[in-house]
Amino acid sequence: MNNTENTKTPIEGAAATNFIREAVAEDLKSGRFKSVHTRFPPEPNAYLHIGHAKAIWIDYGIALEFGGLFNLRFDDTNPAREEQEFVDAIIQDVKWLGADFGDRLLFASDYFEQMYQWAEELIKKGQAYVCDLAAEEVSKTRGTLTEPGKNSPNRERSVDENLDLFRRMRAGEFPDGSKTLRAKMDMTHANLNLRDPVMYRILHTPHHRQGDKWCLYPMYDWAHGLEDSIEGITHSLCSLEYEDHRPLYDWFLDQLGIYHPRQIEFARLNLTYTVMSKRKFIDLVKAKKVTGYDDPRLSTLAGMRRRGFSPLAIKNFCERIGVAKRDSLVDYALLEHYVREDLNKRAPRYMGILNPVKVVLTNYPEGQSEELEAVNNPEDPSAGTRKVPFSRELYLEREDFMEEPHKKFYRLSPGREVRLRWAYFITCQEAIKDASGNITELRCTYDPATKGGDAPDGRKVKATLHWVSARHAIKAEARLYDKLFTKENPDDAPEGQDFTANLNPDSLKVIPDCKCEPALAKVKPGEAIQLERLAYFCVDPDSKNGKLVLNRTVPLKESWGKTVKE
Active site residues: 43, 268, 278
Give the C-alpha separation, 306 to 245, whole Å: 36
Q: Are 449 and 458 in contact (CB under 8 A)?
A: no
Facing residues of 403 across strands? none
Pairing of strands 425-433, 417-420: antiparallel
Give, to the nearest 10 degrees, the angle between helix 246-256 and helix 220-231: 60
Whole-angstrom Cα distance, residue 274 to residue 151? 43
Please state, in angstroms and rounded to a whole number, the distance separating the CA atoms of residues 308 and 393: 32
- In angstroms, the CA 321 to CA 334 distance is 9
Q: How far is CA 16 from CA 19, 257, 273, 289, in A?
A: 10, 37, 28, 40
CA distance 346 to 332: 22
CA 68, distance to chain mean position in Å, is 25
Cβ atoms of 331 and 70 within 8 Å: the answer is no
The 3-class SS string of 264-299 reads EEECCEEECCCCCCHHHHHHHHHCCCCCCCCCCCCC
Residue 284 burial by Cβ neighbours in a 10 Å radius (0-12, 13-18, 19+): buried
Report the candidate in 115, 83, 324, 341 with the shortest Cα–Cα distance to residue 219: 115
The gap from C-alpha 477 to its chain's centroid, in whole angstroms, comes to: 24
Distances (CA, A) of 157 to 14, 132, 187, 432: 55, 11, 16, 93
- Answer whether 504's CB lies under 8 Å from 479's CB: no
> What distance in Å separates the CA atoms of residue 335 and residue 450, rounded to the nearest whole number?
41
Q: How far is residue 275 from each of residues 238, 256, 508, measured CA to CA in Å?
A: 20, 39, 17
Distance from C-alpha of 478 to C-alpha of 397, rounded to nearest angstrom: 14
**What distance in Å separates the CA atoms of residue 147 and residue 142, rounded to the nearest whole number?**
9
